[in-house]
Amino acid sequence: MASEKPILYSYFRSSCSWRVRIALALKGISYDMVPVNLLKDGGQQFSAEFKAMNPMQQVPALKIDGITLSQSLAIIHYLEDTRPNPRLLPQDPKKRAQVRMIADHIVSGIQPLQNLSVLKQMGEKKTEWAQNCIASGFQALEQTLKHTAGRYCVGDEVSI
């Protein structure tokens, strides 16, 4: 039912979950939170119940308006499409594209390299490998921000 309070399935250390919690807060959307501990019991995201809701077995997941969404940017874009005020994407198409580019850079080029599922595959030098990849990603991001930043990453308005 569309009038029900949204439910966010989240983990307190998940940067992806933080992205969604921040977007919900900026938009003033009240929600209930269900914690999903990624470490306890071998990872609660691997339970049959959670897998039935989110086959990717990752947080965050958001039940809202009668649907369940996963992937932080997809959730944030849905919130932006259905609850446009306050805006999290600039009106100007060039700035909007820059915001999306930076968000994609982070969610695709930096953040996945620290995920538990990725690090488990990397062996003994996983920390060193992850640190090098993440540092390289942030160096590239800093170069981009030299051309886009104002008070925030793109201009002077908070965005995704």
pLDDT per residue as tens digits for the range 66-103: 999 999 999 999 999 999 999 999 999 999 999 999 99
Query: Same domain for 68 and 113?
Result: no
How many Cα neighbours within 13 Å face the side chain of 24? 24
Query: 54, 82, 110: which is the final residue of a domain?
Result: 82
The residue range of the domain holding 127 is: 93-148
What is the per-residue pLDDT for 132?
Answer: 83
Share of the chain above pLDDT 70, in %: 91
Select from 82, 70, 14 the least CA-distant residue to 43: 14
SS3 47: coil
pLDDT band (50, 70, 90) for residue 116: low
Which distant-in-sequence residues (6+ apart) come within 8 Å of 78 by Cβ?
Answer: 64, 69
What is the per-residue pLDDT for 1?
Answer: 45
Number of domains composing the chain: 2
160: in domain: no
Query: Same domain for 60 and 31?
Result: yes
CATH code at position 60: 3.40.30.10
Strand partners, 34: 9
154: in domain: no
